[in-house]
Amino acid sequence: MERILIVTTAPAEAVEPLLDAISSAGGGAIGAYTHCAFTNPGTGRFKPSAEAKPHIGAKEQINAVDEVRIETFCSREAAKTVVAAIRAAHPYEEPVIYLLPLLGEDDL
């Protein structure tokens, strides 16, 4: 099964709701385990335009906010559904979501 690595960042209070959404959409599962992810704190940086509606931070200023990086995965078939679930659950107007294909052990 071809799998996709999914990476996004969010404020700490959004991590659990995002993992619930990802799990409900078919992501982050290994055998009998769900909500599988690696999280790491960091600093998100961005500058919203005057037209933006930022969840956090000030318009027309460079902002630095505490965020959590979430790394999880899903099957290629579930990727669109998982990304849609992330967008629906994410507090940010424009969440950054990275999708990277993963090699399986059989590909080595």
* pLDDT value, residue 104: 83
Residue 61 lies in a domain: no
Token reading at 77: 């078939």
- Residues pairing with 38 in the sheet: 71
- Is 0.85 topped by the overall pTM? yes
Please answer whether residues 45 and 63 qualify as being in contact, where contact means their C-beta atoms are separated by less than 8 angstroms.
yes
Residue 21 lies in a domain: yes
Of 105, 95, 107, 85, nearest to 7 by C-alpha is: 95
Token reading at 52: 């933006």
Residue 79 lies in a domain: yes
Confidence bin at 107 (pLDDT 50/70/90) = confident
DSSP 86: H
Residue 52 lies in a domain: no
Query: Which residues form the domain of 30?
Result: 3-39+70-103
Domain count, the chain: 1
Q: Specify the CATH number for the domain of residue 77.
A: 3.30.70.120
Query: Is the pLDDT confidence value at 1 over 80?
Result: no
| pLDDT tens column, 23-48 | 999 999 999 999 999 999 999 999 99
Read off the amino acid at residue 47.
K
DSSP 51: T
| pLDDT tens column, 63-102 | 999 999 999 999 999 999 999 999 999 999 999 999 999 9
